[in-house]
Chain A
Amino acid sequence: MNAAIALGIVALVVVATIALGLFGVRKVAMDPQEFIVGGRRIGALLLWLLLAGEIYTTFTFLGAAGWAYGKGAPAYYILCYGACAYILSFFVAPVVHRLARERGYLTGPDFFADRYGSRALGALVALLGFLMLVPYVTLQLTGLQILLHIAGYSVIDPVVAVAIGFFLVALFTFAAGLRGAAWASVAKDGLVLLGVLFAGLVLPTHFFGSPAGALDAVLRDHPNWLTIAGPGAPNGITWVVTTTILTGCGFYMWPQSMAAVYSARDEDTLRRNAVFLPLYQVMLLLVFFAGFTALEVMPGLQGSAADQSFMLVVQKYYSPSVLGFVASAGTLAALVPAAAQLLAAASIVGKNVFADYGITRSAAAQTRTTRILVLVVALLAFAFWALAKTTLVGLLLIGYNGITQLFPGVILGLAARRPPALAVGAGIIAGLVTLTAFAARGVSQLAGVNTGLVALAINAAVLGIASALARTPVREGAPAGS
């Protein structure tokens, strides 16, 4: 009965959100331009929600709390990197947007293909983005499984629940495209905000009188939990700083973030968004409070189980309807970003591999291929979910290490004199080889430094050496896409 109430609320909210998304696009014709970048007519408010919608995912809702629970102060990096990314985007995003509009980019890899005059580089970047989105979509799936498992009071099979949820999101993405996802973000953000206020303020107040009381309780049992460990320690201060830099640089490299930048109405919209988006970030503080509260109320969750932290508290101490509302906020936080990520992964391969290499020729065939690829990514992420079991933050960091390898190419691509495509490609591949070598040895930190940043340095070094050897910078106005 409890499970029926909680899951019933989740189902109702999901169906209503999908209906809202479809309502938002009811009169919009779906050509690739509309499907992938919302016809480039998305204004400030909807863009805010779209950018925020892709940021405030199940990672925020469960992962940040899970790290506050399982690791403590290293979780603070999550609060830092978003603000750093928005600062960077203030300068970079308007230029990228202007180039995208002038030269008609649809996807992130289009930027590389055009700016470096290389279709092959575009395809390489597309395949990298596609691969790195798999763990990110998997993160959303893992979150869904946790939420449905807890809301179902462990009576429903989590695999079945995730399969249903994922089928819904794939169907939704398939039908509504980017603008639909932006509309669904409206419902999602409202509900997530309520969920986070509940988890971050009501929970600690219930058990400890105030959020500060929860922090006092944590400090009594774990005196070092709320400050960051020393420079060489695992997840110590060096790690926090290097990870903030790495993920701050990588933030806008995601194909879905690039698509959101293209979809803006104008450059000024992007600048104003960059100014104010950090305010949204403060929500994370409440998520930390929720994680710290759970650490005291329900200690003992190990490893990836920490991601369940405050949801288990809600399940144990609150009524099924409260659990249902909190779980439905989390469910939307997984489904809506997953829709945008699926769409991004599908559209980059559909455009920069299938269309650019002439495999699909008409616009209709391209939209159809993109839709089929949505299902392919969904299935891959489902497989990855079934095989790899790691924490939500762990999954995100895998993706970030990879996607940030695009950073040198994007920044240098803004300049009038650019390095040759071969050098950019060589740098990306060197970065990926480094990451793979570290991953094969199970190393994620080198003397406290995030290995993603080490790979980024090697990437930049190879890029620099290769372009010095080639000495044939691409000039402004080089032929596009071939």
Chain B
Amino acid sequence: MRPTSTAIVCAVIPALALTLAVPLVNRLEPRVLGMPFVLAWIVAWVLLTPAFMWVAYRSVRG
């Protein structure tokens, strides 16, 4: 089963959000649910990762 281009795009987006994008969001404000923005960003992307990977999964399953 070859990875589809949809799967690759769905994988790259959260991976970038959790690595190279972190320096861009390394701020305290605005705070989200009391969390500093950078932590809220990371938490949000960890929660979004399964959604992206589910789309990737559907695409390789055909």
Residues on A close to B: CB < 8 A? Answer: 73, 76, 79-80, 82-84, 86-88, 90-91, 94, 210-213, 215-216, 219, 226-228, 231, 237-238, 240-241, 244-245, 248, 267-268, 271-272, 274-276, 278-279, 281-282, 285, 288
Contacts and interface: CB of A to CB of B under 8 A. Distances in A.
A215 B15 contact: no
Nearest to A91: B3
Nearest to A98: B1
A282 B34 contact: no
Interface of B is mostly: helix
A226 B18 contact: no
Given A213-B34, A267-B1, A282-B46, 4 more contacts: A73-B39, A80-B42, A88-B15, A211-B34
Interface residues of B, number: 33
A212 B57 contact: no
A219 B60 CA distance: 45
Contact of A87 (B11, B22, B28, B33): B11
Contacts of A276: 50
Contacts of A76: 22, 38-39, 42
A209 to B, nearest CB: 11
B34 A84 contact: no
B57 A271 contact: yes
A482 to B, nearest CB: 31
B47 A237 contact: no
Given A86-B49, A276-B50, A79 B23 contact: no
A279 B47 contact: yes
B19 A278 contact: no
Contact of B35 (A212, A272, A278): A212
B5 interface: no
Interface string B1-23: 10100010001001100111011
B53 A87 contact: yes
A79 B18 CA distance: 9
B44 to A, nearest CB: 10
B53 A215 contact: no
B36 A80 contact: no
Contact of B11 (A82, A90, A227): A90
Contacts of B46: 79-80, 82-83, 278, 281-282
B4 to A, nearest CB: 11
A213 B34 CA distance: 8
Contacts of A288: 39
Nearest to A284: B46
B5 to A, nearest CB: 13
A81 to B, nearest CB: 8
28 contacts: A76-B42, A80-B19, A80-B22, A83-B49, A84-B19, A88-B15, A90-B56, A91-B7, A91-B11, A94-B1, A212-B34, A213-B34, A216-B34, A219-B28, A226-B28, A227-B26, A237-B22, A241-B22, A244-B19, A245-B19, A248-B19, A268-B61, A271-B57, A274-B53, A275-B53, A278-B46, A278-B49, A282-B46
Contacts of A285: 39, 43
A288 B43 CA distance: 12
A229 to B, nearest CB: 9
A90 B53 contact: yes
B42 A279 contact: no
B18 A244 contact: yes
Given A87-B53, A227-B36, A237 B23 contact: yes
B12 to A, nearest CB: 9
Contact of A79 (B15, B43, B56): B43
B50 to A, nearest CB: 5
Contacts of A275: 50, 53-54, 56-57
Nearest to A214: B34
Contacts of B50: 275-276, 278-279
A451 to B, nearest CB: 18
Given A84-B18, A231-B23, A275-B57, A79 B42 contact: yes
A470 B51 CA distance: 44
B43 A226 contact: no
A283 B54 CA distance: 20
Given A76-B39, A91-B11, A83 B18 contact: yes
A215 B36 contact: yes
Contacts of A282: 43, 46-47
B23 to A, nearest CB: 5
B20 to A, nearest CB: 7
Contact of B19 (A211, A212, A241): A241
Residue of A84, A88, A212 most packed against chain B (CB within 10 A):
A84
